[in-house]
Amino acid sequence: MRKYGLLGYPLGHSYSPLIHNKIYELLELDYQYLLLECQEYELEKYIDALRNNEYYGFNVTIPYKKEIMKYLDEISDEALAIGAVNTVANINGKIVGYNTDYYGFYNEILYYNINVKNKDCYILGTGGASLAINKALLDLGANTYFVSRNKTGNNIISYLELAKRDIYLLVNTTPVGMHPKEGVSPVNCDIAKNSKYVMDIIFNPSVTKLLSDANSEMNGLYMLVLQAIKAEEIWLDKKLSNYSEDVLEYVRKKI
C-alpha cells in the first residue's frame, strides 16, 4: 500500500486524511493518507523516507512550510516566488517542493466571485500560508498588506494601524480561532464588521469568531480541498479537478 501524509504540528484539527482518502476511494486506489505529527528535527527523516519510497508524497503545514525547503533537491517556480512549500513529491528520484495553497486560494476567490483588482486587501499573519495568499491576490490585481504584531519588513502594518484602514478584504492566516484558541478573534469585532469581505483559512471550527463577527461563511475548507486535489495531481500525475465538488460535498457532510 502506498502511503502519503501530512507533516506538521499540531495536527489534531486536520481534515486532510478525510479528503485524500476520499480521493483514493473515488479513484479505487489502495493508498493511505496519514497524519504525521512531528518536530522540526524530524523533517529530514521523512524526506529520506520519501527518497526511499517508504512514502510517496507529503503535504506540509504549520509550522514547517518554510523550514522544509532546505531539505529539498528542487523547488517549483511558484513555490520559490512565494517562499513556502506545502507539497513535496519524489519526481524521478529528486525531492521537489510545490505550493498548492496558491492554487487553492486563487480559485476560492473566484469561487466566491470577489473582485479584488485595485482593492486594498489585508492578510493577518506572515507565515507560509500568508505568502501563497499574498501571491494569489497580487496576481489577481489586488493591493496587499500584511498585518503583524512584529512589524519587520516591507508592506507590513500593525494591528493598531489596521483599525484605521478602509478594508475591502480581510484574510486570516494566523491560528487564532483554531484549537486551542476557539472563541478568540485576531481582530476586534468592529474591524471584522467594517470589512467588506472577511475570509478565514481556518476550517475547524467551520465558523470562527472572526467569521461570526463579520457574518461571513468564507472559511478555509474550499481552499483546503482544492489544494489537496492539486497535490494529488502532482503525486498521481493525472487531472482530478472534476472530483472537487464531490469531495467538498463529502467533507461537508462528515464534519
Do 118 and 39 lie in one domain? The reply is no
Range of the domain at 173: 113-217
- Is residue 108 situated within a structural domain? no
- Is residue 104 situated within a structural domain? no
**3-state class (DSSP) for residue 252:** helix
163 vs 167: CA distance, rounded Å: 9
Report the CATH number at residue 227: 3.40.50.10860
- Is residue 182 situated within a structural domain? yes
Q: Which one of 3, 45, 65, 239 is the catalytic residue?
A: 65
Q: Is 65 a catalytic residue?
A: yes
Q: What is the pLDDT along the chain (255 residues), one digit of tens a residue?
A: 999 999 999 998 889 999 999 999 999 999 999 999 999 999 999 999 999 999 999 999 989 999 999 999 999 999 999 999 999 999 999 999 999 999 999 999 999 999 999 999 999 999 889 999 999 999 999 999 999 987 666 789 999 999 999 999 999 999 999 877 789 999 999 999 999 999 999 998 999 999 999 999 999 999 999 999 999 999 999 999 999 999 999 999 988
| pLDDT at residue number 179 | 77
151 vs 134: CA distance, rounded Å: 17
CA-CA-CA-CA torsion sign (156, 158, 164, 165): positive
- Is residue 105 situated within a structural domain? no
Distances in Å between the alpha carbon of 44 and those of 80, 95, 147?
20, 12, 32
231 vs 103: CA distance, rounded Å: 10
Residue with cell 503535504: 59
Report the CATH number at residue 155: 3.40.50.720
Do 145 and 228 lie in one domain? The reply is no
Do 122 and 212 lie in one domain? The reply is yes
Domain count along the chain: 2
| pLDDT at residue number 164 | 95
| CA-based end-to-end distance of the chain | 27
Q: pTM (2 decimals)?
A: 0.91
| pLDDT at residue number 236 | 97
Do 188 and 119 lie in one domain? The reply is yes
**How is 134-203 classified by DSSP, letter by letter?**
HHHHHHTT-EEEEE-SS--STTEE-HHHHTTS--SEEEE-SSBTBTTSTT--SS-HHHHHHSSEEEE---
226 vs 219: CA distance, rounded Å: 13
Do 95 and 29 lie in one domain? The reply is yes
Do 185 and 248 lie in one domain? The reply is no
Of 62, 86, 112, the C-alpha closest to 219 is 112
Q: What's at 83, amino acid-wise?
A: G
- Is residue 13 situated within a structural domain? yes
